Amino acid sequence: MRQAILFIILAALLPVAVALQDLLPSIPPFQARVQLLPVVFCFGVLALPLVPSLFFALATALVQGLALLQVQSGQVELGLTVPVVFFLLWAIMLQMASEATQGMRWEVHAFGSALVTLTLLGGEFLALCCRRGGFPVEMTVLVRIAIPSAASLLLAPLLYFMLRNLVPVFVETEQLPKKPGFHR
Amino acid sequence: MKKIQIASLVLLAVLTVAFCMLEAGTLRWLQSGMLEIVSPISLSGSAVKSSIGSLGKDLVSLDQLQVEYERVLSENRKLRAENNGLRDLQQDNDHLRQVLGYRERSSFRLVPALVLGHDAGAWWSTIKINRGSADGISPDMPVITDKGLVGKTTAVSSNLSEVVLITDENCRVAAKVEGTKEQGICAGTRDPAGDLRLTFLSKLADLQPGQKVYTAGVSGGIFPSGIALGSVKSFHARELDGEAILEPSADLGSLEEVFVVTGAK
């Protein structure tokens, strides 16, 4: 029951994160944008047991994929395959990290959020280069990947402690003896 | 592993494969559904954002008034404040008259819309506006300001739409150069400066900085003819064609109000 409540709260946070990140202003000079979805995704994956976290990853992929979907002349530029594979792989890796640290830790969440943002933006860029041609690795591109990743690193602890303090169900989950995850 | 976990993993695998096999039509329908979910948050968030912005402005005004209070008589201060208020109203009035005037002058049927925000995607140039299918908007409608072309609608929900800007590489527009017979295809670049690239021009085209570029309005296309796109910044000949870099006519970095072209008058 507690897991179901957790899942619903986290799933509801996904569209909120998408709406909020659109409202946040860009960061000069290269108009880098803050990404909130990877931060919420990392928190969800670390807070949930393995199977629900995989479903949560699928929900995140759906939201992210649809938020960035571009259909031009009936052709989809980037479908849902890339985000689905990406978030499922990250969910498994973060579950393993959570297992290694014997539970949810804010450091794992912070660095995980930064790495997910970094690989998400880098992956999108590579996918676009494959689709549109060319591989223009310029300072602009690097900054547009680095700044959101750094922003995720800084925002992750804020979200972590805010959710822990505002939503008691997250604290209760951490007090469970062991999560049914990767153990033998 | 429990049976329920195995069943869940099977369900997950089925959902994963199903998501990966979705076609463009279904994805667009799902995207509209997601916009429907996101729209109340976006609309209320945008309202809160503008309230916070105006609160900041009010605080500055109060501060300035406080300084004035130290310097002038109370009656004088009251008159100044009243005068300031009237000036603000006059500015608003002038702005709205300009907007209304453009709408009336235009030969298109226009739906005015407010820009809610730029999308957070790093590699796409899109914005969200507060009008949707309930206002007669559908995908692939041109979006303009009184200065020029902004882009076209893509995903549309009942009261929220996504607009891909002309600075996006995906938004290609047939364009013609003022005072010449040159025509080409205009598209955005990945450069954050927000310039446009006009390609497929003649190698011998002698374009000068400042020359205006307009939409060409090809048959069966989305964009009507004669909408300002930008002005030429530079021109250079390539191996097979000529390429010009354009500065967009509309200020795409600080869009607040736009019009969606829903048809001709």
pLDDT, tens digit, for every residue of A79-134?
888 899 999 999 999 999 988 887 788 899 999 999 999 999 999 888 888 888 77
**Which chain A residues in 84-103 lie under 8 Å from chain B, judged by CB atoms?**
84, 88
Q: Which residues contact A14 (CB under 8 A, 6 or more apart)?
A: A37, A40, A41, A59, A60, A63
Residue from the list B8, B23, B45 with its beta carbon closest to the beta carbon of A19? B45
**In which residue are the tokens 């569209």 written?**
A15
**pLDDT given for residue B186 in this prediction:** 92
Per-residue model confidence as pLDDT tens digits over B58-105: 666 677 777 777 776 667 655 655 666 676 677 777 777 776 666 666
**pLDDT given for residue A183 in this prediction:** 46
Query: CA B120, CA B115: separation in Å to the nearest integer?
Result: 14
**pLDDT given for residue A40 in this prediction:** 95
Q: Which residue has the higher pLDDT, A151 or B57?
A: A151
Total domains in chain A come to 1
**Which chain A residues in 99-138 lie under 8 Å from chain B, judged by CB atoms?**
121, 124-125, 128, 132, 136
Q: Which residue has the higher pLDDT, B253 or A13?
A: A13
Do the beta carbons of residue A62 and residue A88 sit within 8 Å?
no
**pLDDT given for residue B66 in this prediction:** 75
Reported as a pLDDT band with limits 50, 70 and 90, residue A3 is confident
Q: Which residue of A has its CA nearest to B20?
A: A81
Compute the count of residue pairs across chains A and B with CB atoms less than 8 Å apart: 118
Three-state DSSP state, A79: coil
Q: Which residue has the higher pLDDT, A172 or A77?
A: A77
Do the beta carbons of residue B140 and residue B164 sit within 8 Å?
no
Exposure string for B164-202, b = 16+ CB within 10 A, e = fewer: bbbbbbbbbbbbbbeeeebbbebbbbbebebbbbbbbbe
- For residue A157, is it within any domain? yes
Tell me the residue range of the domain where A42 lies: 2-24+34-174
**Which chain B residues in 147-176 lie under 8 Å from chain A, judged by CB atoms?**
154-155, 164, 169-170
**pLDDT given for residue A178 in this prediction:** 47
Q: Give the whole-number percent of chain A exceeding pLDDT 90.
A: 42
**Which chain B residues in 186-215 lie under 8 Å from chain A, judged by CB atoms?**
190-192
**pLDDT given for residue B178 in this prediction:** 86
- Please say if the pLDDT value at position A11 is more than 90: yes
Instruction: Take residue A173 and report the two structure tokens written for it.
Output: 């989950």
**pLDDT given for residue B87 in this prediction:** 67
**pLDDT given for residue A165 in this prediction:** 82
Q: Supply the pTM of this predicted model.
A: 0.76
Taking the CA of residue B240 and the nearest CA in chain A, the distance in Å comes to 18
Per-residue model confidence as pLDDT tens digits over A148-176: 999 999 999 999 988 888 777 666 555 54
Do the beta carbons of residue A116 and residue A74 sit within 8 Å?
no
**In which residue are the tokens 């598209």 written?**
B187
Chain A hits for B27, Cβ within 8 Å? 66, 69, 71, 76, 79-80
Asked if A67 and B42 come within 8 Å (Cβ–Cβ), the reply is: no
- Please say if the pLDDT value at position B16 is more than 80: yes
Q: Which residues pair with B32 in a beta bridge?
A: none
Whole-number Cα distances in Å, A73 to A76, B9, B25, B140, B221? 8, 36, 11, 10, 11
- For residue A29, is it within any domain? no
Q: Give the whole-number percent of chain A exceeding pLDDT 70.
A: 91
Residue from the list B27, B42, B170 with its beta carbon closest to the beta carbon of A22? B42
**pLDDT given for residue A87 in this prediction:** 94
For chain B, domains (ranges, CATH) are 173-253 (2.40.10.350)
Asked if the C-beta of A63 comes within 8 angstroms of chain B's C-beta atoms, the answer is yes
Query: CA A13, CA A139: separation in Å to the nearest integer?
Result: 33
Three-state DSSP state, A97: helix
- Please say if the pLDDT value at position B1 is more than 70: no
Other CB atoms within a 10 A radius of the CB of residue B52 amount to 9
Chain A hits for B119, Cβ within 8 Å? 22, 67-68
3-state helix/strand/coil string of chain B: CCHHHHHHHHHHHHHHHHHHCCCHHHHHHHHHHHHHHHHHHHHHHHHHHHHHHHHHHHHHHHHHHHHHHHHCCHHHHHHHHHHHHHHHHHHHHHHHHHHHHHHHHCCEEEEEEEEEEECCCCCCCEEEECCCHHHCCCCCCEEECCCCEEEEEEEECCCCEEEEECCCCCCCEEEEECCCCCEEEEEECCCCCCCEEEEEECCCCCCCCCCEEEECCCCCCCCCCCCEEEEEEEEEECCCCEEEEEEECCCHHHCCEEEEEEEEC
Taking the CA of residue A55 and the nearest CA in chain B, the distance in Å comes to 7
- For residue A156, is it within any domain? yes
Per-residue model confidence as pLDDT tens digits over B157-208: 988 999 999 988 888 899 999 888 889 999 988 666 678 999 999 888 888 8
Asked if B120 and A62 come within 8 Å (Cβ–Cβ), the reply is: no
Asked if A140 and B31 come within 8 Å (Cβ–Cβ), the reply is: no
- Please say if the pLDDT value at position B215 is more than 70: yes
- For residue A179, is it within any domain? no
**pLDDT given for residue B104 in this prediction:** 66
ipTM of the complex: 0.82
CA B253 to chain centre: 9
> Taking Cα atoms as reference points, which of B170, B205, B165, B167 lies closest to residue B184?
B205
Reported as a pLDDT band with limits 50, 70 and 90, residue A16 is very high
Reported as a pLDDT band with limits 50, 70 and 90, residue B246 is very high
Taking the CA of residue A77 and the nearest CA in chain B, the distance in Å comes to 9
Do the beta carbons of residue B196 and residue B250 sit within 8 Å?
no
Other CB atoms within a 10 A radius of the CB of residue A138 amount to 12
**pLDDT given for residue B85 in this prediction:** 62
Query: CA A29, CA A31: separation in Å to the nearest integer?
Result: 6
> How big is chain A, counted in residues?
184
- For residue A138, is it within any domain? yes
Do the beta carbons of residue B164 and residue B171 sit within 8 Å?
yes
- Please say if the pLDDT value at position A37 is more than 90: yes
Amino acid at B174: A
For chain B, the average pLDDT equals 83
Instruction: Tell me the pairing of strands B108-118 and B126-129.
Output: antiparallel
Chain A hits for B30, Cβ within 8 Å? 62, 66
Chain B hits for A125, Cβ within 8 Å? 122-123
